């Protein structure tokens, strides 16, 4: 169950993954995906966002990544967490907006 989903900003790409373990030099992640922008030909000002496999030439579900090129670790927006959890079987996070 994906309960520690984080946005990892590396030099050149952003990765969404569940953090399994972290040391001073490495971070172990589960089910990593790259965040990609998908152009919208009908409305170029409104592209879509999707996920692509990270390290696509392996069947490994967990990877150990060097922090050498890591810029930051951040909390992703709720929509990203929910889409990730739907894909990998985690719990959906309720939207925190209150409508009156």
Tens digits of per-residue pLDDT, 35-83?
A: 998 998 999 888 888 899 999 999 999 999 999 999 999 999 999 999 9
pLDDT at 97 > cutoff 70? no
Report in angstroms the alpha-carbon separations of 82 from 43, 47, 77, 89, 94: 25, 19, 9, 10, 9
For domain 5-88, the question of CATH label 3.90.870.10 is answered with no
Q: What is the pTM of this model?
A: 0.78
Q: How confident is the model at residue 1 (pLDDT cuts 50, 70, 90)?
A: very low
DSSP letter assigned to residue 83: H
Of residues 67 and 90, more confidently modeled: 67
The answer to whether 54 and 61 are in contact (CB under 8 A) is no
pLDDT at 96 > cutoff 60? no
DSSP letter assigned to residue 89: T
Residue extents of the structural domains in the chain: 5-88
């Amino acid at each position: 169950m994906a309960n520690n989903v984080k946005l990892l900003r590396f030099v050149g790409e952003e990765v969404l993954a569940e953090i399994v373990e972290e040391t001073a030099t490495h971070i172990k992640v589960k089910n990593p995906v790259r965040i990609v922008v998908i152009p919208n030909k009908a409305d170029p000002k409104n592209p879509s966002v999707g996920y692509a496999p990270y390290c696509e030439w392996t069947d490994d579900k967990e990877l150990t990544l060097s922090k050498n090129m890591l810029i930051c670790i951040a909390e992703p927006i709720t929509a990203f967490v929910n889409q990730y959890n739907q894909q990998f079987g985690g719990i959906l996070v309720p939207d925190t907006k209150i409508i009156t």
